[in-house]
A and B are shown apart, each in its own frame.
Chain A
Amino acid sequence: MSFRTGVWAAGLGLAAAIAAAPAGAQTPKKGGTLTYMISADASPSFDGHRETTFATVHAVAPYYSVLIRVPPDNPASTTEFVCDLCTAMPTPTDGGKTYTFKIREGVKWHDGSPLTAKDVAASWNKIVFPPQGVTSARISYYSMVEKIEAPDDTTVVFRLKKPSAAFLPALADPFTWIYKKEILDKDPKWYEKNIMGSGPFKFVSYQIGQSIKGVRNPDYYHKGQPYLDAIEGIFAAKQSVRVDAIRGDRAAIEFRGMPPSARDELVKEAGKEIVVQDSDWNCGNIITANQKKKPFDDVRVRRALALAIDHWRGAPALSKIAIVRSVGGIVFPGSPLAATKEELQQMAGYWPDIEKSRAEARRLLKEAGAEGLKFELTNRNVDQPYKFVGTWLIGEWKKIGLEVEQKVVPTGPWFQAMRTASFDVVVDANCQSVVNPALDTGKYLPQSVYPESYGGYEDPKSVELYNKMLDATDPKAQRAAMREYEKHTLDTMAHAIVTPYWYRIVPHRSYVKGWKISASHYLNQDLANIWLDK
């Protein structure tokens, strides 16, 4: 390369770098304590492998490492994954059945001992093949995994039964913390009550139901991080407490999300001192009719329920008061396998002409002999967005002459009603972490295939279409298969009604920098990127 060409190349490189840099990007400052709110009373245990609640992730994730994760600087991406403990994202071999990860050298546990591939393999074996008596909440995500080995101290190999597009997203699940093999060998339940990881922060103290504190890990392997000296998570289930805490600057942020009213209140009161980040949320409510009960075993009745709902006008109206916003089908809106608006409009409940849709709903009800049907909508005693969504649905169904009573029950009885099929129609929920349509959509399958599906139906066609989608490795073929599965589930058989996807709104103090919102409140919560501009 000549000098002249080199100067040009350097100039272009510099220009590209400037263009790529986000406007107003700042150099992170070191120091300070981040106080953040956790919108729960307490974390059930410290063990991420066992728990499914955000309360565990928000409290404990900063103390652990994972193998791979969503990119901390771009967590909104639904397709990109980066290494945390590994050195490079692997290319699968053996026809897509073998993934070999090289593990970083020099990583230390918080007790000072070295972390090796043996620890990584032991942790993953606990997640995928838990020993007798040990609970692993996400075991079903890894049904494609045949074996996990650590042939040496820097290599971990995952062998799959068959190639699967769902594997890498499942591997990036934020609950899959790496534990120390020596401890697991002695007591696989030790991590339920204790914290000892290799993450950006070292655990200091925990007061049950009040707060959890940590300090910076000086040996953290991502150079320069974390930026904070310390962190303190404060548990507060009541929203007014969390809003007031941020308003009074007793806390800087609450990561789960707040309703629009809380955002508006904070912005109004604190003005420029509050910054709001928002995003579509990989959570949604699914309305499920009990097909073991008449007349919900009649597809015409279920289609009528779907056809009565005006998603296109309802979603924007609801978004003003509730944490919902985007209209979507079975797949998370905007992700590669999701239906386009035109594709959605072909299905019951998404027709662009709502009058035509409701006329068809009335015709179907009449044909099924279910005109003026009265039933109970079982809902969870959670304001946002359950009760808002339930109330909206009742209004929509009233427009086709249905008389629906909302029965609001606490979480325990809500689960009980679904599990024992003692409901007419229920407001269920589907809340996931990494956007992983192949697995996220399982809830629409018959219960005999997917135990957390509560419609009470058998449908071999649905299972066949789902498996076809799951087995497809070519993205185009998988998208086409997903459309078939979705059309069959939501339109032909009307097994479920998908209400608008939740919308995550995180207002925080403007001095909190570096944290970026993602599609899930479980993701990007190790807090290593956060710094305080004050």
Chain B
Amino acid sequence: MYQYIVKRLLLAVPTLLGAAALVFILMRLIPGDVCVIRLGSGGAHVDPASVNACRESLGLNDPLIIQFFDFIWNYATFNFGNSMWSGHPVVHEIGQRLPVSLQIAVMATVIAILLAIPLGTISALKENTWLDHFVRMFAIAGIATPSFWLGIMSLVLVLDITYLATGKAWMPPITYVSFWEDPIRNLSIVILPAITVGYRYSAVTMRLTRSAMLEVMREDYIRTARSKGLMEQLIVNRHALKNALLPVVTLIGIEFAFLIGGLVVTEQVFNLNGIGKLFVLAVQNQDNVLTQALVMLVVTIFVVTNLVVDLLYAWLDPRIRFS
């Protein structure tokens, strides 16, 4: 098992290198210049000499090949550089924002699991009943509803309900504090975005749980279990659900990894200072250093999550062995 983990981690190196090369090339293909944007985005006059001085200080006047090898060498030596836009170390920039995205991703995942697995299972077990139809409608609505709309609507709803109830509109605080600093304030900030994201997430997971359960429930070993006279609850929990969860776990893993960098819209709607917002900002500003670091972070999260998911397979299905 340890050998397998080490092998997988070593295989991550070429994956990371490939991603690094790709993002390096793509960022240079986008027209625009971080210095022009930084100095001139306010609309005021920008002196070309100032733009050139800025480019020089950021190493943008160096040949591309030199820039690329600098970038690879810096990563190999764990020097992730400073943001071209703000000048702050990217580790610091990402470090400030990662807890926000991580917390929402974790909370959304918990909400999704709590909703999706029981509802998906019930839906499969009660196939074609009103309950099944209701759960499926709930899931389709979750997939079809854009999260930005749901986010804005939930905020408007909170504002309107509190206004009608108390005469004073209330909205969640718009600056993040950590859970350890102020748990109530923290939860009042993250609960709406977590529900917004968690609902869509649960809808996708719910549909997969349902179809996986339907498939498993028609398997021979379930029929055998039933013929042995086992209790239905035992059959579902011990034999069916565990097997049906294999594809669901894969989906949860991918979705979780995606959420870390993919909460762009939700973070904008709720003014959360997370990784998704930073990603958009970095690309918009042509901040190559920060964009590269963020891509590498997301790739790393995907690699690690996939590894964790693969290891979970063995726990869920003892027949699976890694070597």
Q: Which residues of A contact B (CB under 8 A)?
A: 41-45, 50-55, 133-140, 192-193, 207-211, 232, 234-238, 240-241, 244-245, 247-251, 269-270, 283, 410-413, 415-417, 419, 429-433, 442-443, 450-452
Contact B41 A52 (CB under 8 A): yes
Among B33, B92, B174, which residue has its beta carbon within 8 angstroms of that of A241?
B174
- Chain B 252-294 residues near chain A, CB threshold 8 A: 268-271, 273, 277-278, 281, 284, 286
Interface check B159, CB cutoff 8 A:
yes
Among B57, B175, B277, which residue has its beta carbon within 8 angstroms of that of A41?
B277
Interface check B37, CB cutoff 8 A:
yes
Measured between beta carbons, the chain B residues less than 8 angstroms from A442 are 45
Contact A250 B174 (CB under 8 A): yes
Q: Which residues of B contact A (CB under 8 A)?
A: 30-33, 36-50, 53-54, 56-57, 85-88, 92-93, 96-97, 152, 155-156, 159, 168-171, 173-176, 268-271, 273, 277-278, 281, 284, 286
A-B contact pairs, 15 of them (CB 8 A): A52-B44, A53-B41, A55-B42, A135-B50, A137-B46, A208-B92, A208-B96, A234-B174, A237-B268, A238-B271, A250-B173, A412-B30, A412-B32, A415-B33, A452-B46
Measured between beta carbons, the chain A residues less than 8 angstroms from B48 are 451
CA distance A270 to B171 in the complex (A): 14
CA distance A383 to B208 in the complex (A): 40
Given known A234-B174, A250-B171, A250-B174, contact A411–B32 (CB-CB < 8 A): yes
Which residue of chain A lies nearest to B44 when distances are taken between CB atoms in the complex? Answer: A52
Contact A210 B33 (CB under 8 A): no
CA distance A455 to B79 in the complex (A): 43
Contact A236 B174 (CB under 8 A): yes
Measured between beta carbons, the chain B residues less than 8 angstroms from A52 are 39-46
Chain A nearest CB, measured from B270 CB (Å) = 8
Contact A245 B45 (CB under 8 A): no
Given known A249-B169, A412-B33, A412-B37, contact A210–B159 (CB-CB < 8 A): no
Measured between beta carbons, the chain B residues less than 8 angstroms from A417 are 31
Contact A140 B47 (CB under 8 A): yes
CA distance A248 to B42 in the complex (A): 29
Among A135, A232, A234, A240, which residue has its beta carbon within 8 angstroms of that of B53?
A135
Measured between beta carbons, the chain B residues less than 8 angstroms from A451 are 47-48
Contact B31 A431 (CB under 8 A): no
Which residue of chain A lies nearest to B280 when distances are taken between CB atoms in the complex? Answer: A41
Measured between beta carbons, the chain B residues less than 8 angstroms from A283 are 43
Chain B nearest CB, measured from A420 CB (Å) = 8
Measured between beta carbons, the chain B residues less than 8 angstroms from A270 are 169
Contact A193 B87 (CB under 8 A): yes
Chain B nearest CB, measured from A280 CB (Å) = 16
CA distance A209 to B176 in the complex (A): 11
CA distance A88 to B269 in the complex (A): 48
Contact B31 A137 (CB under 8 A): no
Among B32, B43, B88, B169, which residue has its beta carbon within 8 angstroms of that of A193?
B88
Contact B284 A45 (CB under 8 A): no
Chain A nearest CB, measured from B239 CB (Å) = 49
**Top 6 closest A-B pairs, CB basis?**
A412-B32, A431-B43, A248-B171, A53-B42, A52-B42, A52-B44
Q: A210-B175, A412-B37, A416-B31 are in contact. List 11 more A-B contacts (CB 8 A).
A: A52-B46, A53-B41, A208-B93, A208-B96, A210-B273, A236-B271, A244-B155, A244-B159, A247-B171, A248-B159, A415-B33
Measured between beta carbons, the chain B residues less than 8 angstroms from A412 are 30-33, 36-37, 284, 286
Contact A139 B50 (CB under 8 A): yes
Contact B87 A432 (CB under 8 A): no
Measured between beta carbons, the chain A residues less than 8 angstroms from B278 are 209
Measured between beta carbons, the chain A residues less than 8 angstroms from B46 are 52, 137, 452
Among B36, B53, B155, which residue has its beta carbon within 8 angstroms of that of A419?
B36
Contact A432 B44 (CB under 8 A): yes
Given known A44-B38, A241-B268, A411-B284, contact A416–B32 (CB-CB < 8 A): yes
Contact A415 B32 (CB under 8 A): yes
